[in-house]
Structure 1
Amino acid sequence: MEVKESKRINAEDLYELKSVVDPQVNGIGQECLYVLTSICKETDKYYSNIFHKNLNTLETSQWTFGKDRNHSPRWSPNGEQVVFISNRSGKNQLFLLSKKGGEAKQLTYLVNGVSNPVWSPDGKEIAFQSNFKTGETVADKESKKEDKEDNLTALEVTNMKYKSDGKGFWDGSYDHIAVIDIESGNMEQLTTGDNNYYLQSWSPDGQYIAISADQNKEKDFSFISDIYLYNRKEKNWKRITESNGNYGKVTWTPDSKRIGLIGSDREYENATLSKLWVYDLESDFLQCLTPEWDVNVGDYAIGDFQQGVVTPGMLWGEDNESFTFLASDHGNTVVYFGNISGAIYPSLIDNQHVYGLSTGGSLKKAVVAISTPTHPGDLYTLDLETGEIQQITEVNKEFAESHAFSEAEPLQFASRDGWELHGWLMKPQGFKEGEKYPLVLEIHGGPHAMYANSYFHEFQTLASNGFAVLFINPRGSHGYGQQFVDAVRGDYGGKDYEDIMDAVDYCLETFNFIDSSRLGVTGGSYGGFMTNWIVGHTDRFKAAVTQRSISNWISFYGVSDIGYYFADWQIKADLNDIETLWKHSPLTYVKNIKTPLLILHGEKDYRCPIEQAEQLFIALKIQKKETKFVRFPESNHELSRSGKPALRIERLNYINNWFLEYV
């Protein structure tokens, strides 16, 4: 019998792969909804549909159809209906679908669309979030006919937070919360004014709606998120946090007596680990359950594939005291069990990335979404008591059976100053003992993020083209405790650079198949900064690709949507300390660069604006250095993850071709 050779993975395979996210188990734990996202090659657009899985028979049925974005399915309390969001009318609106079938009914027609649906406990109302400019209310309807003419007008700016990556320039609107009566269609707007309010959850007894907001008047220098309880009957507010941190992911015990929160007091600014908190309504007491636990609560894994991942908060059990949650730990996301007495232990710990979790209210069985370096992602049932899992979807089965994935071998080694470091090495496709192979070093963004045991399409394309791929979590990464993640602040280009170079040295000493004369390096955002830094401090790499990078902290301070505070938090310097900002700027060392450098950047990147790339390109060209500058139109900081598919693919091909040419 002839055995077909597996195909190698290439950039264009993004058109074939499907992303499965957001499992939602119903209240009796017998059924699960999920969202499947694909790419339409003809239109070059993403489309999503909602699927149903019977957890007893494992029968699957599709509940929405077409090439629109249908997502965020949420069961009604009695499990007979589902509310979801769809852009089929033009904007994201609420739609209601009966479990028995039939056409979905559109519930909202708001001018700016809606997000984040939350059912009332009696199933008669749905709360949601929408965006309103001054003068707009829930009475303003979505226009059926778009005005195609651009009415240009001046943008008047008085606040420093006037732009944000992905959203663009602030248009004077605010996020507010409203409730719709399903039977009558009547809507009530709960929040108004010049402030953003974000919907969290509704108490099971129907009395309170939990909302998060920052009500400090000086928004430019405020970075908190408080939790408020809105009393639906008395129509008053109560703040339950102390305006000293960032809190969210609000969940309720079944008896409505306690609230679970995830957040921090921001002791280390944005490098602070998130912790578990419980608020007791009867005693009016907020308590941190994990003050000494040196693990980050939540999913902080970096990836370039999944679309629309939803990370839950603390999911409570029937006893009103126990819960399950996700945490990031040593390159994995782990399902943990905990209770209000402080007990915490893993329910599911393995070399994998758990990027979705739903229980339906019972702590006996859950549905989890899991990815590994060789598995883009699927859903599994998880017995929370035994840890036993069973795969229940195979959304990329045909692709997996016909393509070859490269395994990621875990690495553990010591830095030159004795810190424990962790990473992975992928062998190239077609690996043969005794042969030498080039290596590409990958550096993640953040820096407060985490490479994980998760699928990375970029890595697979590099391995497919004959490269070994090295990726590690240097100082500053999440997953290894508070001291580790905080260590990079004020030391960009210091010990973090040494960690990365120590990883390269470790691989060269340990694996004799790596050709030390054929090394490449790439990374995006912070990884782009570090790529720039590396080629300015060593010429050991034959080629480099810097993506959405930082090259000049002085200009970054004023042009980035986060620059004026991020530089202060991370470099620990401001415009009163130009010397320190310049010392940590890769542009300072551009005269040392000998490595051929490809510069990739999105035109509408407001996080690391394209002027950072422009400066670097001109500084290199004026010195006759080997470089190329590629600008991606209409693309923001998220190009590699959720950008226009054709441009994501073009970007991957630029990276691979640069290394094929120069390494």
Structure 2
Amino acid sequence: MQAIKLDEFLNYHFLSNVKLSPSANKAAFVVSKSNEEKDGYTSGIWTVDLNTKECRMLTAGKDESSFLWLNDDTLLFTSRRDRTKPEEVDQYYTDCFVISLHGGEARKRMTIDAPARVVASIDADTYLLDVSYDNNLPENFFTMSREERQKLLASRKEEKDYEVFSELPFWRNGAGITNLQRSRLYLYHAVEKVMEPLTEAKYQLEGYDLSQDKKKLVYCGSDFQGVESLKQELVEIDLATKEKTVLVPLASWNIHHVVYAGEKIVVTATENKKYGINENANLYCYDRENKKLQLISQPDRSYYSSVGSDCRYGGGKSMVGEEDGITYITTERNWSKINHVSFDGMISSLTADEGSVDCMDKKNGRLVYVAMRKTGLQELYTVEHGEEVCLTQINAMALEGKSVVTPKMIRFTDTDGVEIDGWVLEPVGFDPQKSYPAILDIHGGPKTVYGAVFYHEMQYWANCGYFVFFCNPRGGDGRGNRFADIRGRYGQEDYDDIMQFTDQVLSAYPQIDKGRIGVTGGSYGGFMTNWIIGHTHRFAAAASQRSISNWISMEGTSDIGPYFGMDQAGGNAWENFDQAWWHSPLKYADKCTTPTLFIHSDEDYRCWMVEAYQMFSALKVHGVESRICLFHGENHELSRSGKPNHRIRRLKEITDWFNHYLKEEK
């Protein structure tokens, strides 16, 4: 068997955005792949005939990831394939192409004078657009000629040396500076080349759906002025008359999803009253007669997949409305699956309790989904006669002949009587008579989960001769609100769970050298790594990634800081300061002795780089061996969707750090 290499992920394909055709006899989906030469990712559209099972690549472009079905034989997609010059003005135009499934070259259908995603075709001439709208530009910008735009943008270059912020958040992770920028809905009339706005210029759009007859549109959001609201209103528009009806006013509801289910409008929503911002939403149907939300189901689970992996790229649907109810992805224990809930609240499982389901679509009784099964990579699946059927073999060769390690579960009951799930990857070629180093890996969130799915970095470390172990402590997803709720207790029961899990692993595997164990994690896992090195000396080395070290500074710099810090840590600079500081790993930096590597990105606006700077500086001042590797132009998603060369360097930095402290003779 061949060892899994550090850059092995360059050979993997990532599937996303699956959509069924109008008849549901065919499906199209996006396949992306790392491109080391261009230090980015290429994406193309593939199709599969669900009757014949024939699967083929439809477009071989470099950036084709947004598409829609015009009919059963034709797709419309956006692409920059005709762009030859990287002009700044080009980003404000969108080229749309059509391609037949029966062959032939893609033909340009239209160019929209705005940065847009084409959401739906209303009729032969009219399209629904989701437009990136910048309130910093003149209102007539989309009607300007290319020359006028070029002149305006050139004059604005003088202002690139400074930024003006007037709202919170003023930046968003993965999107950069977003002050006064919005997602805005339009109807586009292709013949007249006219864009007709449906939502207001400063409206913060959170979700929307088009009715099956394409006559109505429902959306949720809020009028964003100054500080973003955590609550949303629910609005319906008659697309013929443009009449708007506020169904649920902006008051107490945090609405996560909104879909049409036949004639009904269904939302997942919560009032965040009992468990804060991480509270699982319930499923409601809008009662048109009584003008209020009517409860359908409260499963106490999330309506999406939170199973972690570093082998995905791109998104897709997690919920579909139907005549008899809703089909949705949910996270249960340590896997994600697809459920259906009827309007009488009956829940039925459509897929197995295994691995992860990453996106899906369902129509006319047919279900397709992207999933990771056992220790394999993503493929496209369907269900026929109650049995799961794999429709693709796109990643079949990627792991063939490779030393893939199957995770072994360790489930135990902690001292509080709570059952905790964890796994161990044994080192490749494991010899029970030998001694080995080990790495504890901690997930982010904290409201996510680890499962038994393929994780490249962990498999690589196992191939490098490490035991790798990981678990789902309290604070994570898949076990309900009570299990996930650690507000005001970060670093307490979650820390205890992780330490007790470590004890369990060491008891099960005496081959692990207790003096050669490392710890790492990202985001919440980075916070916990920072916390651990200030509360125990049992680890020989640490790698803290995209971490939180100070809840006070996090509140004032993170794109979610104004609400996340107070909600989760239970304090801020003005209220319960002592509690927020007590939960800050920086407070305990003077107790640290563990050599620590910090991995961070300068465009990580979720946990800004000052979090790493503060902890790194504190360790240096107190004489602890430490190093920081800052990645320019990357954000919070570095390990999952960062530039390929940066992902390689990141993993090399962490592995070299552990090799030095856990393998080399001292």
What does residue 412 of structure 2 align with?
Answer: 413
1:266 & 1:101 partners in 2: Cα distance?
51
Change (3 A) 1:399 1:530: same
1:280 & 1:95 partners in 2: Cα distance?
40
What does residue 64 of structure 2 align with?
Answer: 70
String of CA shifts for 1:272-317, please: whole Å, max 9, x gaps.
11332222446644222123x222222222222211121321341x
The CA deviation at 1:348 is 1.2
What does residue 202 of structure 1 align with?
Answer: 210
2:359 to 353, 356, 360: 356
How do 1:250-329 residues align onto structure 2 when only pairs under 5 Å count?
250-254=258-262, 257-267=263-273, 268-281=275-288, 284-291=291-298, 293-316=299-322, 320-329=323-332
What does residue 220 of structure 1 align with?
Answer: 227
What does residue 370 of structure 2 align with?
Answer: 369
2:531 to 530, 533, 540: 533
2:41 to 9, 22, 46: 46
Question: What secondary structure does 1:544 align onto?
Answer: strand
The CA deviation at 1:60 is 2.0
Question: What secondary structure does 1:570 align onto?
Answer: helix
String of CA shifts for 1:443-491, please: whole Å, max 9, x gaps.
11111222233322111111111112111111111100110111x1100
- Cα contact 2:546–2:607 (8 A) shared by 1: yes
What does residue 87 of structure 2 align with?
Answer: none
- Cα contact 2:79–2:95 (8 A) shared by 1: yes
The CA deviation at 1:435 is 2.8
- Cα contact 2:256–2:281 (8 A) shared by 1: no
The CA deviation at 1:38 is 0.9
2:246 to 239, 242, 256: 239
How do 1:528-607 residues align onto structure 2 when only pairs under 5 Å count?
528-576=526-574, 577-607=576-606
Note if 1:456 corresponds to 2:460: no
- Cα contact 1:177–1:198 (8 A) shared by 2: no
Identical-residue share of aligned pairs (%) = 30
Change (3 A) 1:117 1:642: same
What does residue 169 of structure 2 align with?
Answer: 161
Q: Which amino acid aligns with 1:190?
A: L
Greater displacement, 572-581 / 156-165: 156-165
Q: Which amino acid aligns with 1:346?
A: S
2:194 & 2:103 partners in 1: Cα distance?
25
What does residue 82 of structure 1 align with?
Answer: 75
1:453 & 1:239 partners in 2: Cα distance?
44
Change (3 A) 1:142 1:80: farther
- Cα contact 1:177–1:189 (8 A) shared by 2: yes
CA RMSD of aligned residues (A): 2.3
- Cα contact 1:116–1:199 (8 A) shared by 2: no
Change (3 A) 1:525 1:93: farther
Unaligned runs of at least 5 residues, structure 1: 1-5
Change (3 A) 1:205 1:281: farther
Unaligned runs of at least 5 residues, structure 2: 84-89
The CA deviation at 1:182 is 4.6
2:347 to 340, 344, 349: 344
Q: Which amino acid aligns with 1:435?
A: K
Question: What secondary structure does 2:399 align onto?
Answer: helix
1:454 & 1:79 partners in 2: Cα distance?
34
Q: Which amino acid aligns with 2:646?
A: L
Question: What secondary structure does 2:612 align onto?
Answer: helix
2:49 & 2:371 partners in 1: Cα distance?
19
- Cα contact 1:447–1:476 (8 A) shared by 2: yes
Q: Which amino acid aligns with 1:222?
A: S
Q: Which amino acid aligns with 2:219?
A: I
What does residue 12 of structure 2 align with?
Answer: 17
Greater displacement, 639-648 / 365-374: 365-374
Q: Which amino acid aligns with 2:267?
A: L
Q: Which amino acid aligns with 1:377?
A: Q
- Cα contact 1:213–1:225 (8 A) shared by 2: yes
What does residue 117 of structure 1 align with?
Answer: 119
Note if 1:518 corresponds to 2:516: yes
1:562 & 1:14 partners in 2: Cα distance?
30
The CA deviation at 1:168 is 2.1
Change (3 A) 1:173 1:210: same
String of CA shifts for 1:79-125, please: whole Å, max 9, x gaps.
243222324345454433334444434455456511251232x5553
Change (3 A) 1:186 1:160: closer
2:175 & 2:457 partners in 1: Cα distance?
26
Change (3 A) 1:113 1:216: closer
Note if 1:34 corresponds to 2:32: no
1:265 & 1:116 partners in 2: Cα distance?
32
2:204 & 2:308 partners in 1: Cα distance?
28
Count of residue correspondences: 643
2:515 & 2:116 partners in 1: Cα distance?
54
What does residue 3 of structure 1 align with?
Answer: none
The CA deviation at 1:240 is 2.5
2:347 & 2:471 partners in 1: Cα distance?
27
Change (3 A) 1:125 1:112: closer
Q: Which amino acid aligns with 2:247?
A: I
1:522 & 1:141 partners in 2: Cα distance?
52
Change (3 A) 1:216 1:629: closer
Change (3 A) 1:148 1:474: farther
Change (3 A) 1:173 1:356: closer
What does residue 379 of structure 2 align with?
Answer: 378
1:142 & 1:406 partners in 2: Cα distance?
55
Note if 1:190 corresponds to 2:198: yes
1:632 & 1:193 partners in 2: Cα distance?
34
